[in-house]
């Protein structure tokens, strides 16, 4: 039986990504977009944590749709910038800024940072708010480093300047940016892919659907699953879950998947 959830985001690329991951997991879940419900004002993302902002968006989506609502908050945390842009990633160059303006500002801010000290992490938190007020969050991270110029035309956001650590070099011994990866390859290691795959067993349990194969979760690990939920005004659950990357097919080289051979200081081989 198909169940429906709302993804409370106006980002069409995030919607496509979530639907793709759910389809890859073989889950019979219909993801409704904001275009499918009556419009409502964008909530103010006033929190200083990814968890807080994700819950703000999911709560508003649930209230205005009456459906279980998913929302994510994500961003890039650059070591040389003290963990910023963080929750300000989509507005780093000011309100309503486009991806290219945001990433160009980050590159200007770290242009004097040596190649071996340009580490960064993508972080994503997925929130689920149920109509009875129960709330759940899951978190995913992807470590890597920043290039000195954009590369690749896939993905979105800061993908063109972010080189994930968890990848195998190509035939030329080069590591790629997230924007140079195929969609499925990126989903397998990405921060949002991890957060979504950690959330799907919770969604399955809450909606009475089979848990996707390979993503099983013990019933007792799902907070609130066997009791009455709190009123929506109560503090959100602080429970979080993490999930590793998707296992690589056996046909791929048996190299260590976590880092490429060579320096571990964040240097991209053969990067100009």
The mean pLDDT value of the chain amounts to 81
Annotation says 73 is catalytic: yes
pLDDT of residue 217: 55
Binding residue per annotation — 156? yes
Q: Is residue 232 part of a domain?
A: no
Q: Is residue 244 part of a domain?
A: no
Q: Is residue 150 part of a domain?
A: yes
Q: Is residue 41 part of a domain?
A: yes
Of 73, 79, 132, 170, which residue is the catalytic one?
A: 73
Per-residue pLDDT reduced to its tens digit, 17-32: 899 988 888 888 999 9
Give the Cα-Cα-Cα angle 27, 33, 34 (nearest 5 degrees): 155
Q: Is residue 27 part of a domain?
A: yes
Binding residue per annotation — 57? no
Per-residue pLDDT reduced to its tens digit, 74-95: 999 999 999 999 999 988 987 6
β-strand 162-164 against 119-129: which pairing, if any?
Answer: unpaired
> For 47-51, 71-75, 77-81, 259-263, which range has the lowest pLDDT when averaged over its residues?
259-263
Q: Is residue 245 part of a domain?
A: no
Q: Which residues contact 227 (CB under 8 A, 6 or more apart)?
A: none
Binding residue per annotation — 73? yes
Binding residue per annotation — 191? yes
Binding residue per annotation — 145? no
Q: Is residue 149 part of a domain?
A: yes
Q: Is residue 229 part of a domain?
A: no
Residue 196: give its domain's CATH number. Answer: 3.90.950.10
pLDDT class for 120, splitting at 50, 70, 90? Answer: very high
pLDDT of residue 91: 86
Q: 39 with 104: CB under 8 angstroms?
A: no
How many structural domains does the chain have?
1
Q: CA 127 to CA 95: how far, in whole Å? A: 24
Q: CA 187 to CA 80: how far, in whole Å? A: 26
Binding residue per annotation — 157? yes
- Percent helix, strand and coil across the chain, each to the nearest 5: 30, 15, 50
Q: Which residues contact 30 (CB under 8 A, 6 or more apart)?
A: 2, 3, 4, 5
């Amino acid at each position: 039986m198909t169940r429906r959830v709302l993804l409370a985001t106006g980002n069409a690329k995030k919607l496509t990504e979530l639907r793709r991951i759910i389809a890859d997991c073989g889950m019979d879940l219909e993801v409704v977009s904001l275009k499918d419900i009556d419009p409502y004002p964008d909530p103010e993302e006033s929190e200083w944590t990814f968890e807080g902002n994700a819950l703000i968006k999911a709560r508003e989506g649930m209230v205005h749709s009456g459906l279980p609502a998913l929302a994510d908050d994500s961003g890039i945390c650059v070591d040389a910038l003290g963990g910023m842009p963080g929750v300000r990633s989509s507005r780093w160059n000011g309100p309503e800024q486009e991806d290219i303006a945001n990433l160009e500002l980050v590159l200007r801010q770290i242009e004097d940072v040596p190649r071996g000290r340009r580490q960064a992490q993508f972080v994503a938190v997925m929130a689920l708010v149920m109509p009875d007020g129960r709330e759940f969050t899951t978190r995913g991270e992807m470590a890597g480093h920043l290039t000195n110029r954009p590369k690749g035309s896939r993905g979105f956001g800061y993908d063109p300047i972010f080189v994930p650590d968890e990848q195998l070099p190509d035939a030329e011994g080069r590591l790629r940016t997230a924007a140079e990866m195929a969609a499925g390859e990126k989903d397998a290691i990405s921060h949002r892919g991890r957060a979504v795959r950690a959330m799907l067993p919770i969604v399955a349990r809450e909606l009475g659907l089979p848990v996707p194969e390979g993503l099983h979760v013990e019933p007792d690990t799902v907070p609130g699953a066997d009791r009455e939920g709190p009123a929506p005004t109560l503090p959100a659950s602080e429970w979080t879950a993490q999930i590793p990357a998707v296992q690589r097919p056996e046909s791929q080289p048996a190299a260590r998947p976590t880092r490429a051979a060579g320096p571990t200081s964040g240097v991209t081989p053969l990067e100009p």
